[in-house]
Structure 1
Amino acid sequence: MKNGIHPEYRKVVFLDASTGFKFLSGSTKSSDETIEWEDGNTYPVIRVEISSSSHPFYTGKQKADTAGGRVDRFKKKYNLK
């Protein structure tokens, strides 16, 4: 492998902006914002919009599609069962 071509890999805190959920993970991303973690060390913070704490698949709060598909609309339009 060539030296100097790979990004620096470091620990960062990912913060879900919608729920406030935080987790520590490794990443090549960097940030000027920092936070003190539970272990007493200071890490860069990467804000994310969706995490397992807020994603509908993981929270079980998925919206049901009540509109139906093409077949359902066709049957409704022509009163078919």
Structure 2
Amino acid sequence: MRQNIHPEYQKVVFMDINSGFKFLSGSTKKSNEVIEWEDGNSYPLIKVEVSSDTHPFYTGVQKFADKGGRVDRFLQKYNMKDNK
């Protein structure tokens, strides 16, 4: 096998931004953010929009339907109204 051509495989924490659900897994993804895990060690943090905790296929329901889309959140954040 050729040396120095493969990305570094490491433990990372994935966090679902909609529910806050976190899990530890292995990945080659890099992140500038770090989080302390339950075992006391610090791991890179990767934020994801959908995980098994919020995906309707796994849950049977859509947990974050009331959160709104990007446009709705933008309009609410800057106290603007929709011009439809």
TM-score (norm. length: structure 1): 0.75
CA displacement, residues 29-75 of structure 1 (integer Å, 9 cap, x when unaligned): 0101000000000000000000000000111116xxxxxxxxxxxxx
Tell me the equivalent position of 1:35.
35
Tell me the equivalent position of 1:55.
55
Gaps of 5+ in 2: 63-84
CA displacement, residues 12-41 of structure 1 (integer Å, 9 cap, x when unaligned): 000000000000000000101000000000
- What is the percentage of aligned positions where both structures have the same residue? 71
How far did residue 9 of structure 1 move?
A: 0.2
Task: Look up the SS of the partner of 1:24 in the other structure.
Answer: strand
Tell me the equivalent position of 1:22.
22
Structure 2 counterpart of 1:23, one-letter code:
F
CA distance in 2, matches of 1:26, 1:48: 15
TM-score (norm. length: structure 2): 0.72
Tell me the equivalent position of 1:45.
45
Q: How many residue pairs are counted as aligned between the two chains?
A: 62
Gaps of 5+ in 1: 63-81
